[in-house]
Amino acid sequence: MSLNRLIVVLLFEGVDLLDVTGPPEVFALLQRETGQADGYQVMLAAETMDPVTTSAGVRILPDVTFRDAARRSIDTLLVPGSVEVDEDRVVHAVTDPGIVRWVGELAGVSQRVASVCVGAHLLAAAGLLDGKRATTHWSTAQQLAADHPAVEVDADPIFIRDGKVWTGAGITACLDLSLALVAEDFGEAMALRVARQMVMYLKRPSGQSQFSVPTEAVATTRRMEDLRHHVAQHLGGKLTLASLAEYAHMSERQLTRVFKTEVGSTPAAYIESARVEVARNRLETTDDTLDRVATTCGFGTVDTLIRAFRRKLNTTPTEYRNRFRHSG
């Protein structure tokens, strides 16, 4: 399999800056992690070769025109979005008809298509989301549903895959979407390595923030960061306070004190949160039984898994799977 995957990111006036720059950072870190020159090739495409002014006022130079990009074999077409805010401070997604036409044409020569944030409105306007489940930034989800009744809009997940079409939620969710693409192309282990370099630590699955375990503070010392990495690599095993203290070359009392100071929780609470995150991912992306999920993620029993989900997410594993299981 060729590792040279062409990613084309659309540029147009007023486009959200992070939508454009966030995903390429993820793809670049993949190359750094593999140590290879190949991986992804990212091109920024616009209607002309003139500089494009983003919503942040930063000007970006395109690499190719839309017309030139349409002649290439595109692995992934990334479609960012832009918004305008009316006098009542209500946010509206912008869908320029000219950009919509190019989205449709470029999608035809792409292996897969992904929208970032309100870029979902452009996909919908191009007819690419009809009959599909899709997400977007929560502030424009009602607009997307009203403008495109043929689209099943779900504002909860941070990204959704339906066939070859991916849609992502708002702002920093573009990083989670990009990591999911890396996972599909190069495996979960590589995606987790990239996530760790980005200090995202545990790659989030597609549940939206109200179903997410709160992000832990980043450890301030190399010893605690190494311990967190050790925990992530051994979640399916027995992670006792004694074994962690031995790994960190500290007493149990000292470890508890330092861990609480640097990470913001006790080791036991942190391990449970990490296990819930991994269990969420398996519930979303596999057909594993609850018994297997509990065993694989280190809970031991289904009852322990259920209690952890109720504590952390205020739901059950079955309810969570029913709501967030990936389509396609």
CA angle at 41 for the pair 35 and 45, rounded to the nearest 5°: 155
What's the pLDDT score for residue 52?
97
- The mean per-residue pLDDT over the stretch 72-76 comes to 96
pLDDT, mean of residues 111-134: 96
In terms of C-beta density within 10 A (0-12 exposed, 13-18 middle, 19 or more buried), how is residue 210 classed? exposed
pLDDT band at 71 (very low <50, low <70, confident <90, very high): very high
Mean pLDDT for the stretch of residues 187-196: 81
* pTM (2 d.p.): 0.67
Whole-number Å distance between alpha carbons of 89 and 47: 30
| Architecture in CATH for domain 213-328 | Orthogonal Bundle (1.10)
Q: Give 10's pLDDT tier (boundaries 50, 70, 90).
A: very high
Report the C-alpha gap between 264 and 256 in whole angstroms. 11
CA 222 to mean position of chain CA atoms: 26
| 173 closest CA partner among 12, 5, 16, 3 | 16
* Percentage of the chain modeled with pLDDT above 90: 61
Beta-sheet pairing, 91-93 with 83-85: antiparallel
Q: What is the DSSP string of 151-210?
A: SEE--SSSEEEETTEEEE-STTHHHHHHHHHHHHHH-HHHHHHHHHHTT--SPP-S--GG
4-197: CATH topology is Rossmann fold (3.40.50)
Q: Report, as an integer, the average pLDDT of 40-57.
A: 96
Please calculate the CA angle 211-313-177 and round it to the nearest 5 degrees: 30
Distances (CA, A) of 192 to 40, 176, 178, 268: 17, 11, 12, 22
Yes or no: say if 204 and 158 are a contact pair by the CB < 8 Å rule: yes
Q: Which two three-digit tokens encode residue 298?
A: 């280190």
Given its phi and psi angles, is residue 127 left (phi above 0), alpha (psi -120 to 50 degrees) or beta? left
Q: Tokens for 303? A: 């009852």
The values of phi and psi at residue 159, to 5°, are: -160, 155
Angle (CA) 304 310 311, round 5°: 90
Domain ranges within the chain, ordered by starting residue: 4-197, 213-328
pLDDT at 157: 81
